[in-house]
Amino acid sequence: MDRHEWPNRFTAKDAAKAPWSCPSCGQPALTVAPGTVHVEEGRESAAARDHEFWEPEWVEGRFVCLLRCTCHEVIAVAGRQGLAQGFSGSPDDPDIDYYNYYEPLVFEPPLRPIHLATAVPSDVREQLEQSFRLFWCDLDACSNRIRTSIEKLLDYHGVKRTVISKNRKRVELKLHARIELFAKGGEPLSDHLMAVKWLGNAGSHAAAPVTRDDVFDAYEIIEFVLREMFDQAASRIKRITKLINKTKKPRSASQKWRNVKRKK
């Protein structure tokens, strides 16, 4: 993913080409469907127009629209609308202009900041897809869903959830301890999972709110982990590398040796 391709707003100037990729085909081919943008000013915003110091930047409305892709996918969008200041004319004598901007809070179907390989377990996929829905409206909850996907990933790999304590009672292991168990089993990606855990914790416990960049960090890390674990091309490269290092010769030489042995 490229976080710079995921702005949190778009303008009327972007109507010819919305700034995100289609969740179905993955191509950057979304456009705002003509005639589908509907805007209404909010009650408090409308009342504020009577204020003696009112400025256009005070306007806050709600919008809905449809995005369309060349693959024929249709996406419903809803969110906030406002006015931003711009300038036109010459630098020596600029004219002040105002233009509409739109801040999405909901996409249906949700956009996909990262790619999930087909082989990713369904429980892991479900949590991440829920995080995609929350990304635009609740970053703390979004980061928590990403954290939960780590729990599901450890379940898939058989990392135990409980242990018997010294008092002979079954107690539940915290995610931190489960990742440490995963690491003891020789899993080289454990450090990456621990980083995602810390980011997820921030969504629940930190005094400061989680930022978009924090969530992008978590997405980039988890995408890397899942690609290493479940991407078929990556798995194939690992198998090839392991075989070559084990035999200390090209695979073709190993195959010729096996053919000769069969003939004998």
99-149 tens-digit pLDDT: 889 999 999 999 999 999 899 999 999 999 999 999 999 999 999 999 999
- Percentage of residues of the chain with pLDDT beyond 70: 91
Q: How far apart are CA 57 and CA 96, in angstroms?
A: 12
- Structure pTM? 0.81
So what's the pLDDT on residue 253? Answer: 74
Structure tokens at 4: 């710079």
CATH number of 122-244: 1.20.120
Is pLDDT above 70 for 89? no
- Sign of the C-alpha dihedral computed for residues 238, 235, 146 and 218 taken in this order: positive
- What digits encode the pLDDT tens for the residues 188-199? 899 999 999 999
The domain spans of the chain are 3-108, 122-244
The count of other CB atoms within 10 Å of the CB of residue 153 is 25
| Highest mean pLDDT: which range of 6-15, 67-76, 203-212, 235-244 | 67-76
- Taking the CA of residue 159 as centre, how many other CA atoms within 13 Å lie in the half-sphere pointing to its CB? 24
The more confidently predicted of residues 207 and 98 is 98
Q: How far apart are CA 218 and CA 198, in angstroms?
A: 9
The more confidently predicted of residues 125 and 11 is 125
Is pLDDT above 90 for 202? no
Mean pLDDT of 208-219: 91
Instruction: Count how many residues are written for the chain.
Output: 264
